Amino acid sequence: MSHTVHAFDYLAAPEKYPPAAVIVLMGDESFLRSLVLAKLRERLAAGRDDVQLTTFGPKTPWRDVSDELSTGSLFGGGGQRLVMLEDADGFVTEHRAKLEDYVAKPKSTAILMLAVDSWPSNTKLYKAIDAHGRQVQCAVPTGARNKDPDVPKISKWLIAWGKSRHNIVLEGAAADELVQIVGPHLGVMDQDLGKLALFVKPGGKVSPTLVKEVVGGWRMRTAWQMLDDVAAGKAAAGLTELDHLLRSGSEPQAIFGQISWSLRRFATATRIYEASERRQARLTLGKALEQAGVRNFPPGANERAQEQLKKITRRRAVKLYQWLLEADLSLKGSHSQRDRARLAIEMLFLKLAEQTA
């Protein structure tokens, strides 16, 4: 039986997924990781004040981790402790054989938790922990046939999360609208749910109109204007709008999540459009965008998307996937700090605005 579960399912019913000697949090959604970790500590506490947590970095020697796993709880009581390896991709690569041996014969004094971005399912370690441990997917859920975010699943989670954490009733259309505005950035959407809770009574309903008024506001207008300017080759204007968003407190990763959400659909629409040409069954640009997930809501949204995609031009649109991948990898690695993250977005804008690209 598989012991791999998505964080949405784990958080909805943690009692169905008992702790194991080795737990892997896989995926790059840090917000989900923090929620799963908090829920696990809550379960392990079982009436105690808290569970002792020891955190190691990716360059920690195996010896130190092994010693910590073998050490009993400082205050006794027989409870298990948590030993967590953060950013553990490199640690797993270096100590894979030792980890495989440990999974086969784990210690009873502590739970080993590995937080990794990449976790290939074809490895011996993955299969061993899937069979005998616990693996929680801490990533935005995607469709079965592609890597696009699964909007219905995200919206369903938002409705449940809004009720349990923020005591609001989020209408289905309101949840969809929030995803459309923010993009699949769960931590940011959680903050926005907190804002929405201030505008209704406890247990009150949140409508799509309220979402647009509270969450959209000038930030949404600025983001759209930013894309308009960059698509039209007006790099300076787009960078000015970016500066306004950053000065307002918006995080670069959140801004990228929002604009990449739109640009990824433009890239998908371009592929759909070109594929129809090859079949000699040419679609209209509007239909291609519709198949890529661009709704005509609010009214005129599809037409506006057509205009933006035309401004980008096919020459640049066919490169969008590559450019977005490069920017995403930079933001998760060499450009993860705020200042360098800004630079990564600016570089993307310059590519989009370059008329000769």
State how far the Cα of 311 lies from the Cα of 237, in Å rounded to an integer: 15
- Range of lowest pLDDT (25-29, 74-78, 148-152, 196-200): 74-78
Give the pLDDT confidence score for residue 307 in this predicted structure. 84
Give the pLDDT confidence score for residue 357 in this predicted structure. 42
> For a pLDDT cut of 70, what percent of the chain falls above it?
91
Residue 260, amino acid: S
In sequence order, the 6+-apart residues with CB closer than 8 A to the CB of 97 are: none
State how far the Cα of 45 lies from the Cα of 51, in Å rounded to an integer: 5
Residue 149 DSSP class: B
Give the pLDDT confidence score for residue 356 in this predicted structure. 41
CATH class of 4-137: alpha beta
Q: Is the pLDDT of residue 93 over 90?
A: yes
Shortest CA distance to 195 belongs to which of 222, 170, 221, 224? 170
Give the pLDDT confidence score for residue 172 in this predicted structure. 92
CB 33 within 8 A of CB 115: yes
State how far the Cα of 7 lies from the Cα of 240, in Å rounded to an integer: 37
pLDDT in tens, 259-273: 887 788 888 989 888
Q: Is the pLDDT of residue 4 over 90?
A: yes
Helices (H), the chain: 7-12, 30-45, 62-70, 89-94, 96-104, 124-132, 151-166, 172-182, 186-197, 208-211, 217-231, 235-247, 252-278, 285-291, 301-312, 314-317, 320-332, 338-353
In sequence order, the 6+-apart residues with CB closer than 8 A to the CB of 40 are: 14, 19, 23, 82, 113
Q: Is the pLDDT of residue 166 over 90?
A: yes
Tokens of 157: 């989670």
Residue 106, amino acid: P
Q: Is the pLDDT of residue 194 over 80?
A: yes
Tokens 């609010």, residue located? 298
Using CA atoms in the order 214, 215, 219, 224, what is the torsion angle rounded to 10 degrees? -120
Burial annotation 182-203 (CB, 10 A radius, 16+ → b, else e):
bbbbbbbbbebbeebbeebeee
- If one compares 50 and 200, the residue with the highest pLDDT of the two is 200
Give the pLDDT confidence score for residue 298 in this predicted structure. 59
State how far the Cα of 288 lies from the Cα of 277, in Å rounded to an integer: 11
pLDDT in tens, 315-327: 888 998 899 888 8
Give the pLDDT confidence score for residue 102 in this predicted structure. 95
Give the pLDDT confidence score for residue 97 in this predicted structure. 94
Instruction: Indicate the pLDDT class of residue 8, thresholds 50, 70 and 90.
Output: very high
CB 137 within 8 A of CB 5: yes
Compute the average pLDDT of residues 182-208.
87
State how far the Cα of 222 lies from the Cα of 243, in Å rounded to an integer: 10
- Concatenating the DSSP letter of every residue in 330-353 gives HHHTTT-SHHHHHHHHHHHHHHHH
CATH number of 218-353: 1.20.272.10
Tokens of 13: 């019913």
**Could you tell me where in the chain the CATH 1.10.8.60 domains are found?**
144-206
Q: Is the pLDDT of residue 51 over 70?
A: yes
**Could you tell me where in the chain the CATH 3.40.50.300 domains are found?**
4-137
CB 139 within 8 A of CB 31: no
Q: Is the pLDDT of residue 75 over 80?
A: no
Tokens of 163: 């009720």
Instruction: Tell whether pTM > 0.85.
Output: no
CATH 1.10.8.60 fits 144-206, yes or no: yes
Compute the average pLDDT of residues 16-25.
92
- Range of lowest pLDDT (42-51, 163-172, 260-269, 298-307): 42-51
**Could you tell me where in the chain the CATH 1.20.272.10 domains are found?**
218-353
Average of per-residue pLDDT values in the chain: 85
